[in-house]
Amino acid sequence: MIDNRYRFEAFLYSSEQPAENQFNELLSFLKAKYSKDITLSWVEDKAVNTGFRLEVTIVDADDETGLSRRLETVYDWTVEGRLQQLRDDLTRVAAPFENIIPLMKETIKSWTPKALEEEVGTVLTVGDGIATVSGLHNATYQEILLFSNGVRGMVLELKRDEIGCILFDDGDTVTEGSTVKRTGMTAGVPVGDGFLGRVVDALGNPIDGQGPISEDGYGPIDAPAPGIIDRKSVFRPLETGILSIDSMFPIGHGQRELIIGDRQTGKTSIAVDTILNQKGKDIICIYVAIGQKASSVAQTVNILRKFGAMEYSIVVNASASDPAPLQYIAPYAGCALGEYFRDRGRSVLIVYDDLSKHAIAYRSLSLLLERSPGREAYPGDIFYLHSRLLERSAQLSDEKGGGSLTALPIVETQSGDVSAYIPTNIISITDGQIYLESNLFFSGQRPAVNIGLSVSRVGGDAQSKAMKKAVGTLRLDLAQFQEMEVFMQFSSDLDELTRQQLAYGQGLMYLLRQEKHHPLKQHEQIILLVSALNHVMQDIPTKKIGEFKEGLLRFFEEQAPHISQELNNTGVLSNELKEDIVKYAREYLSKAMQA
């Protein structure tokens, strides 16, 4: 209720003057709802053929001129108002269902018109994608508002006498003093199977020039995360096809694995390769581009199309040229699309590229909304911004359909500083991180995964038995090599055993080098790991290891296809099978050395 700083004035628009008893009834209603001091005036309006329209305005108490008058509420009892109410009721009742005709008939039969009450506000200020609105005292957080020129906005700041609203459309047409209405709808995006293979903006509108998308429903952008009872432990591996990750930092369905590193260290390449590796595995992939260059996003889409990955993928793009409100809601829109498939028992992989730019967009909006800045000028709820997004990733229980949503958030660091505000926040939310190091990247070690700083908190639970056995002591061997690497400059003075250990470790590092967009199948990874860890490649010059790997895999495909078949069918690496792999690998080694 408005305090004594304001007074109310009401105006009744109709073609004929109301009878005294009708006038008194309306005045009694207004006094009970607003204020005992409210005044009611009749205004003749020939455009209102039947019924009436009642407008309630609010004026500053000390304003005798009435110049501060603002529209507060409209009660529409005209024919047009009642028809609009019928349309809205039909849309609301029938929208979630396919067969709407019987429901429409039933709704029309039982429909009773009521005075159409609309809470109307006034734009006080507008600029930089933000509008300040007064008069909408019952508006709720994240409710969609509709401005008089058709522009949509979302409530993001609630104050006592005004609200802050972010604008999704072109805000240049919104002016001070224009009206705005509540819709009663929480912000959301259209969802459905029709989005597969398409590129859309943060509002779900197609931007790939392939025509409209048929939607199956409406998903809220900010849905609550599944509860503990509705979840299941991570138990199924989600293979990236990247040897260094699948062997040492495995990712499981429902996990949240952070990809972190400086600019231009291959973060997006790892995410794209993971999407490419899901081909034929019945996994829906969603790539959310936040604040990226339009050319970079177009290049990523072309790669997905080239390798046949777009047929099971969706790209949500809020590029650097889009306003901050669209960059802010983009990851939530992508998550809503993922939840549509997850809740239907499907497995979904979603990539957020990247959350650093998402945080910057939210910081811009918060400062424009005059929120108090905190560390690095971010608002106090910046941690909640990402936690409520990433907590929606989960492996659902069998009772909930068994679907999963796996998240690969990407964060960009400055000069390798993982202790900055946003990186530390997201590290504490996720189930592990893959840290990409600039020095490794520029030395040719790609993917440039830092073995010491990377970790998966799910571990062996997200690995098959065969992979777990094949990995063996790989990580320990690499850690020992990194400790000894400092002595490589004194290689001429080292004993033979130390030189052999250094050569072995260097060979393992070259083994983990992998061209982008060439993911490895699991049986190929197991063959390479077993061969390398049994010192088959130790005497191969490091520059020829890449060529040796390719030849070795071709040799196994031609000479020992039973090995890959057994690994794929059973998922178990028996001792006999392991011995077979070593035997065939040494056979190929002898042929390669003779060639």
- Half-sphere exposure for 539 (CA within 13 Å, toward CB): 6
Task: DSSP for 415-454, please give it.
Answer: TT-TTSHHHHHHHHHSSEEEEE-HHHHHTT-SS-B-TTT-
Q: What is the dihedral of CA 315, 320, 326, 332, to 10 degrees?
A: 50
Q: Compute φ and ψ for 313, nearest 5 degrees.
A: -125, 160
Mapping DSSP to helix (H, G, I), strand (E, B) and coil, where does residue 445 land? coil
Q: CA–CA distance from 87 to each of 84, 107, 109, 181, 363 (Å)?
A: 5, 11, 14, 17, 39
Q: Which amino acid is residue 288, in one-letter code?
A: V
Q: How far apart are CA 140 and CA 520, in angstroms?
A: 49
Q: Which residue has the tokens 């029709």?
A: 194
Residues linked to residue 407 through DSSP beta bridges, in sequence order? 256, 350
Q: What is the torsional sign of CA 490, 494, 498, 504?
A: positive
Q: How far apart are CA 223 and CA 192, in angstroms?
A: 17
Q: Compute φ and ψ for 262, nearest 5 degrees.
A: -70, 175
- Half-sphere exposure for 577 (CA within 13 Å, toward CB): 21
Q: What is the torsional sign of CA 78, 79, 84, 90?
A: positive
Angle between helices 421-429 and 382-390 (to 10 degrees): 30
Q: How far apart are CA 562 and CA 581, in angstroms?
A: 11
Q: How far apart are CA 16 and CA 183, in angstroms?
A: 31
Q: Which residue has the tokens 């509108």?
A: 205
The token pair that represents 286 in the structure block: 């969603």
User: What distance separates the 2 farthest-apart alpha carbons in the chain?
Assistant: 112
Q: Could you list the active site residues?
A: 457
Preceding amide of 354 cis, omega within 30: yes
Mapping DSSP to helix (H, G, I), strand (E, B) and coil, where does residue 172 land? helix
Contact 453, 475 (CB under 8 A): no
The token pair that represents 251 in the structure block: 């990712």
Question: Which residues neighbour 500 within 8 Å (Cβ) at sequence distance 6 or greater?
Answer: 538
Q: How far apart are CA 100 and CA 302, in angstroms?
A: 40
Q: CA–CA distance from 209 to each of 200, 206, 212 (Å)?
A: 10, 7, 9
Gyration radius of the chain's alpha carbons: 31
